[in-house]
Structure 1
Amino acid sequence: MKDLDLTLDYMENARFNYVYGTAVARMEASIFSTLEKLCISMIYHKFVLREGPRTRYMTVQQLSGFIRMMFKITDPRINHRIVKTISDDPNCVDPKFHPDRHCTLNSFIKMLAIYFSNDLDRRMRFAFSVYDEDGYGFMNRETVMRYIDAFFTGDDEDEIFEMRADMLELLFQKFDKDKDLLISFEEYCDTVRKQPELLEFLGTVFPSKNDLDVVGLCCNLHTH
């Protein structure tokens, strides 16, 4: 195919087309076209090149920086959870790959597909998986409180403690339908379908439309 990036020489473009063209052809169906996936692959490839010519994968540090700088998701806990959720690729069998250190191309494209999707069910699954730190399919009061802690800061410890406690009770009244002191995925989805503005009730997971537009322009995602 025609060279996508004129900053790369002929040999590097040929190598990109061979490695990433084959990878894209093997990917499952996506909201992105083949050309869009190749353009995303070029962005991914540029990150990989920064780690040296023998590197195969984007690092989790690079992924975290991308999410922080491009998507403005700066909360350390949520940024870390997004990176961990995204970089866990069970389909990668390369012995050099480790999800605590790397992010595959497939995972990177899936992340962008989630962010550019308007499918509420898909967005709910992703947001809940980010909040659900233990992966149990539900969140207890301790898990929810860890996120609430970041909502309130100040010098008056008693006032801060009271506001955090009030927020915790308010959220469980809203989401915990069966009053078992747990917020299940089903309860979360039921509440968010009625009030979509509660999708990110424990902190920002998704970028703004303006930030998506910038990433879409950089990746040539014209149809999105």
Structure 2
Amino acid sequence: MAGDYGDWLDASMDIMEETRFKKRHKPLIQRLEKKLHFDYVELEALSIMYYKLEKENEHHGQGKRERGVTKIQFRDMLHCALDMTDDNLMDRMFLAVDKGPSPFITMETWATTLSLFLRGTLEEKINFCFTVYDIMGEGVLARDNIFHLLRGSMVSQGGEDADESVKDMIEVITKKMDLDRDGKISFNDYKQSVLKNPMLLEVFGQCLPSRMAAYSFLTTFTHTPPTL
């Protein structure tokens, strides 16, 4: 339950405006509290962040007002607040969290994604990262897919030399992660490899905020100081 910390979440909002907002979204927050890694007060704070971004983006068209946080806004937030700068993977990440055609993300998607990024379990992160890497949903990462992932994440040294470096990396990674030696990395190969060595979680590109970035962002809204 919300205590004194959540009585007035944002001093830049009118107290009546915030009270109406909290009352309107109480059912959603109660539902999210049961399945995410945030408590009620933290979810209220995150919903206020969403609401402020939503207000910035309000526009009118054909007599109908559209409201919501756009994927572009969310992308900018991830870039600035969570230091997620791998543009090559950003589109894949959005497909992993929200496959809908709308340019907006819902408050539920907002909270669910931040729950994963900031406090997700290793298993949740394994599932997410593999989904990002396996953009076709085939359940395996073939060599050509791995090549494009690694090539896009590398700072190119130019032409053929960069490609050769990627090919060398593929040999090292597949030797380590292709547990059943079938020439591809299945979800089980990936999961078992990461469980054994968590450093391999983002071996094909950054899908998650750094530990320090997550810590810094958490301190802006949580009443429970996170530990590094």
- Is residue 2:78 matched to residue 1:73? no
Aligned to 2:62: none
For residues 72 and 87 of structure 2, the distance between their equivalents in structure 1, rounded to whole angstroms, comes to: 12
**In the superposition, relative to structure 1, how do residues 132 and 222 fare at CA in structure 2: closer, same or farther (>3 Å)?**
same
- Is residue 2:67 matched to residue 1:62? no
Pairs within 5 Å for 1:183-202: 183-202=185-204
> Residues 140 and 186 of structure 2 are in contact (CA less than 8 Å); yes or no, is this contact kept in structure 1?
yes
Shift of 1:130: 1.4
For residues 177 and 8 of structure 1, the distance between their equivalents in structure 2, rounded to whole angstroms, comes to: 54
Aligned to 1:207: 209
For residues 195 and 164 of structure 1, the distance between their equivalents in structure 2, rounded to whole angstroms, comes to: 21
Cα deviation 1:32-57 (Å, max 9, x = unaligned):
11111111111111111111174442
Task: Say which SS state the counterpart of residue 149 (structure 1) adopts.
Answer: helix
- Structure 1: gaps spanning 5 or more residues: 89-97
Amino acid aligned to 1:12: E
Cα deviation 1:19-41 (Å, max 9, x = unaligned):
22232123343221111111111
Amino acid aligned to 1:62: Q
How many correspondences in the alignment? 214
Amino acid aligned to 1:171: I
Aligned to 2:54: 48
> Residues 37 and 120 of structure 2 are in contact (CA less than 8 Å); yes or no, is this contact kept in structure 1?
no
Cα deviation 1:186-212 (Å, max 9, x = unaligned):
000111111111111011222122211
For residues 31 and 166 of structure 2, the distance between their equivalents in structure 1, rounded to whole angstroms, comes to: 48
Runs of 4+ in 1 over 6 A off after TM superposition: none
> Residues 175 and 188 of structure 1 are in contact (CA less than 8 Å); yes or no, is this contact kept in structure 2?
yes
**In the superposition, relative to structure 1, how do residues 6 and 118 fare at CA in structure 2: closer, same or farther (>3 Å)?**
closer
**In the superposition, relative to structure 1, how do residues 12 and 118 fare at CA in structure 2: closer, same or farther (>3 Å)?**
closer
1:15 to 3, 20, 33: 20
Shift of 1:118: 5.6
- Is residue 2:94 matched to residue 1:83? yes
The percentage of counterpart residues that share the same residue type is: 25
> Residues 67 and 79 of structure 1 are in contact (CA less than 8 Å); yes or no, is this contact kept in structure 2?
no
- Structure 2: gaps spanning 5 or more residues: 1-5, 60-64
> Residues 59 and 101 of structure 1 are in contact (CA less than 8 Å); yes or no, is this contact kept in structure 2?
yes
Amino acid aligned to 1:166: D
Shift of 1:116: 2.4
- Is residue 2:166 matched to residue 1:154? no
Shift of 1:145: 0.8
For residues 22 and 56 of structure 1, the distance between their equivalents in structure 2, rounded to whole angstroms, comes to: 19
For residues 153 and 23 of structure 1, the distance between their equivalents in structure 2, rounded to whole angstroms, comes to: 45
TM superposition score normalised by structure 1 = 0.86
**In the superposition, relative to structure 1, how do residues 118 and 47 fare at CA in structure 2: closer, same or farther (>3 Å)?**
closer
Pairs within 5 Å for 1:18-37: 18-27=23-32, 28-37=34-43
Task: Say which SS state the counterpart of residue 50 (structure 1) adopts.
Answer: helix
